[in-house]
Amino acid sequence: MKDIEKKEDIQSASEHYENPLGVEKTSVLLRQFSIPAIVGMVVSALYNVVDRIYIGNAPGIGSQGLAGITIGFPIMILQLAIALLFGIGGATLFAIKLGEKRLNEADEILNNTFALLLISGTLFMIFGISFHKPLLRLFGASPEVLPYAMDYMRIIFFGSLFHMTSLGMNHMMRANGKPNLAMITMFAGAGTNIILDPIFIFGFKMGIAGAALATIISQAVSMTWVVGNFFSQKNRHRIQFKLMKPRWCHIRRIAALGTPSFVLQSTNSILHVVLNKSLLTYGGDVAISAMGIVNSVQTILLMPITGLNQGLQPIISFNFGAKKYDRIKSAERQAMTAATIIVVVGWMLTRIFPTQIVAMFNREPELLKLGSYALKTWFWMLPVVGFQILGANFFQAIGRPLSAMTLTLTRQVLLLIPAIIVFSRLWGLEGLLFAAPFADGLAAAITGMKFRLGIMSLGKIGKESKFLKA
């Protein structure tokens, strides 16, 4: 029966034009897929950044509000982690099956991914609403900051279903060959947030709760757009309720391919908890506020790399499935060149305009001084971060989640978290800030060696991979 389905898949695929992912120039594909993703991710990053700018400049809230959002940030990263577990895992497997011309399986994977996102988003919302106060205390909220964190996060949890579903399905839209529509999803959400933030925060005088309400409404708009597209009869690969019945064989592979991204973001959440508690110990609430600004700037600087990687992923996955390894090498070389240029420009901005960047969020003298120093110190090794991110995600795109997960864990778990703990005990707050460049440099060197071996053995990987077999 399976052999018949495979033949039907191939026959159905042959009736249509050949997928451009396998024939178009890789430079053209990279521009077509990555530029919308980069624009979309930068715009999406404005969710939290705009919130922090408005809150940091709101009368009566200021640095305490910034600290409150920063304390809740690890929880929001966990939302992202689960969305990427199923979104990137599903999109990777979906693209590989398209490359193998197994269209029926691709449709099943699309629908199973959608079901997983709905279920996980609902469960996360229920859990968060029930336990948000003890969670925020556990994550390092001081008595002074806790009220601000609670006002923000109790509302953010209500948007978990919207946020996680829109993020996950946006990856599926991009893998389905519609990067421009994926970009519009980001624009729709972030644009709504930018408009509603000042209305709720200042117009309705809702303060930090207004920022949270604007955020979840924006997330609902994004979800409506992306899910509505997959229900359209014009879409070649659609959401169909009959195909949403979970199939263990698909769920296992979706979860395995998405695990590196999930682990990366989960450990990123743990990292921020450790970081916030260390900051509170060695610098107080003002240090947490300063790191909140650094996190916002880091989000803006690295979102282009995330977008570049999202555009690159379907190109690599499709051509790996089609066994076109020269195209993979070409696309990786072009993407890494672009990534390096992007992060070097960002690095230069943090060298030249640190005070001006921090002043966008808050102008309190103590926060301005500490934030400027933290910005320059934390980003010392930023020029190598783009390569490290793409190098690790290369293995995920070709169906080697264990290698990808190992490389992503190297920076977060093996290097950065221990460095934060040890360096802060040895040199206080200054040592804590130098933990990041230490971890970035060493992780990039390790990734470089592993990536070179992976590229050189592509043909062998394609022949020996058992994971992608039915």
If you average pLDDT over residues 197-202, what whole number do you get? 93
Mean pLDDT of the chain: 88
Determine, yes or no, domain membership for 226. Answer: yes
Residue 2 pLDDT more than 50? no
The answer to whether 140 and 62 are in contact (CB under 8 A) is no
pTM: 0.80
In a domain, 63, yes or no: yes
CA 50 to chain centre: 17
In-domain check, residue 442: yes
Per-residue pLDDT band at 100 (split at 50, 70, 90): confident
Task: Work out the angle at residue 269's Cα, subtended by the Cα atoms of residues 395 and 127, and round it to the nearest 5 degrees.
Answer: 115
Tell me what pLDDT residue 61 has: 83
Q: Classify the C-alpha dihedral 359-360-361-362 as positive or negative.
A: positive
Q: What is the mean pLDDT of residues 231-239?
A: 87
Looking at residue 466, what is its pLDDT? 41
CB 166 within 8 A of CB 226: yes
Residue 291, in any domain of the structure? yes
pLDDT tens, 119-146? Answer: 999 999 999 999 999 999 988 899 999 9
d(CA 434, CA 287): 14
Cα dihedral 158→160→162→164 (10° resolution): 180
For residue 452, the model assigns a pLDDT of: 92
Asked if the model's pLDDT at residue 159 lies above 70, the reply is yes
Q: What is the CA radius of gyration of the chain?
A: 22
Q: Which of 114-118, 459-463, 464-468 has the highest mean pLDDT?
A: 114-118
Q: Which residue has the tokens 């404005």?
A: 46
The mean-pLDDT minimum among 45-49, 62-66, 266-270, 369-373 falls in: 45-49
Q: Which of these, 261, 239, 223, 254, lies nearest to 121 by C-alpha position?
A: 223
End-to-end Cα spacing for the chain: 12
Angle at 262 (CA atoms; ends 229, 298), nearest 5 degrees: 90
What are the pLDDT digits (tens) for 272-326? 999 999 999 999 999 999 999 999 999 889 989 988 998 898 899 888 988 889 9
Q: What is the rounded (10 degree) CA torsion for 10, 12, 17, 21? A: -50
What local confidence, expressed as pLDDT, does residue 5 receive? Answer: 46
Token pair in block for residue 231? 């229900």
Q: Which of 57-66, 158-167, 304-313 has the lowest mean pLDDT?
A: 57-66
Residue 3, domain member (yes or no):
no
Q: In this structure, are residues 300 and 378 in contact, taking their beta carbons and an 8 Å threshold?
A: no
In whole angstroms, give the CA distance from residue 383 to residue 420.
21
- Res. 465 pLDDT band, cuts 50 70 90: very low
Q: Is residue 178 part of a domain?
A: yes
The tokens for 209 are 């709760």
In a domain, 420, yes or no: yes
Asked if residue 21 belongs to a domain, the reply is: no
Domain that holds residue 180: 28-464
Number of domains in the chain: 1
In this structure, which amino acid lies at residue 199? Answer: I
What's the CA gap between 291 and 67, in Å, rounded?
Answer: 9
CB-CB neighbours of 206 under 10 Å:
17
pLDDT of residue 191: 87
Name which residue leads in pLDDT, 225 or 404: 225
